Amino acid sequence: RDVINRMAAGEVLARPGNAIKELVENSLDAGATEIMVHVQNCGLKMLQVCDNGKGINREDFELVCERFATSKLATFEDLQHMRTYGFRGEALASLSHVARVNIVSRQIEQSCAYQADFLDGKMLATSKPAAGKTGTCITAHDLFHNLPQRKNKILSHSEESRFIFEILMKFAVHRPDVSFALRQNHSTDFRTKGDGNFQNVVNLLVGNDVANNLIGLNLDSQRLKFQFSGCMAMPISAATAKMSQARKIRQNFFSVFVNGRSVRCDILKQPMDEVLAPKNLICQFCAVDLKIDETRVDVNVHPTKDSVLFLEKEEIVEEIKEYLQRIVDDYFK
Ligand code: ADP
Ligand code: MG
């Protein structure tokens, strides 16, 4: 039974970055305006996410690491109308099956924080009073200590660090109204202000040659029932891109959120490439937000929830492509 749980957990949390993403989404669900992430040894030794969100009630401590325990899903129909990130109550349970988890949390009306340790879906002892401000701090030690093959699969620590950086960067760009800080080992990668200024976030994370040349995107499709909005960097020639000062961009930065969730999908990259490639242009930065009728998208296709299926993908890609074509043609008239 424990082995099954552990293997299932290894699917949801295939790498440290997946765990960080889940924890950050929980923090956002809890209404946090400040989220601090700290990792040691790319999250394998330690990963921690602290927030100033609404906190977890002491009574609920026992439940949070139980499989399918979620405070966010009341009925099955709710699955159709997901507004928050989490809805399956699997992340914390999974984490506790592959790491040693500690939770410190305080709700505003409580006089102190409480903390407890978790292992294999269970709280190890009754929660104890602890020091702490309103909010939640979740720490996982020795990730994959009981899944040595999984641990060994993480070959390159620098690649894993980059993956974690990218995840946090996507959240920071998506939510300039929330302050994100990322510390890896002993140095701070970045800290955004959380004052809502999008351009400042891009400036900090990507550089001012991109931040000063942003083009706003906005497309409303009545027919396909989606809204596409965001920002892209002004496209530049492939040659210029090579010499670009934007050294902080390790690759080109592309971020897509679908109904509030960061996903991997080609509805942006594909039309962008098709529009830019014939002109030998490159776009170094693009961050978009796609809001689409919940009945036209399926987000439950993979345990990590980072892929989506669209009912009318071809049509969506086509509309986005036509739109981008107009933008680029206008720009280079
Ligand atoms: P889900 O997000 O799908 O509900 P999780 O396993 O990610 O499931 O979290 C389980 C529950 O723990 C959440 O429903 C929420 O009630 C609580 N929780 C987790 N993280 C936080 C947090 N940072 N702040 C407040 N509550 C949290
Ligand atoms: Mg969650």
What value of ipTM does the predicted structure carry?
A: 0.99
Residue 250 pLDDT exceeds 90: no
Q: Whose CA is nearest to atom 21 of ligand 1?
A: 26
Q: Ligand 1, closest atom to CA 60?
A: 16
C-alpha 322 – ligand 1 centre gap (Å): 40
Q: What is the average pLDDT score of the chain?
A: 88
Residue 249's pLDDT is: 47
Give all domains of the chain, ordered by start, each with its CATH number: 2-191 (3.30.565.10), 207-331 (3.30.230.10)
Q: What is the mean pLDDT of residues 176-188?
A: 96
Could you report the per-residue pLDDT of 310-320, keeping only the tens digit for each? 889 999 999 99
Which pLDDT score, from 0 to 100, does residue 248 have? 47
Contacts 24+ apart (CB under 8 A), 311-315: 312/224, 313/267, 315/224
Provide the pLDDT for residue 105. 98
Q: Which atom of ligand 1 is nearest to the CA of 53?
A: 24
Q: How wide is the angle at C-alpha 259 spanned by C-alphas 204 and 256, nearest 5°?
A: 40
* C-alpha torsion 228→308→84→31, nearest 10: -70
Report d(CA 156, CA 162) in Å as an integer: 10
When mean pLDDT is compared across 103-107, 149-153, 260-264, 303-307, the lowest value belongs to: 303-307
**Predicted pLDDT of residue 165:** 95
CB of 17 shorter than 6 A to ligand 1: no
- 138, 91 Cβ separation under 8 angstroms: no
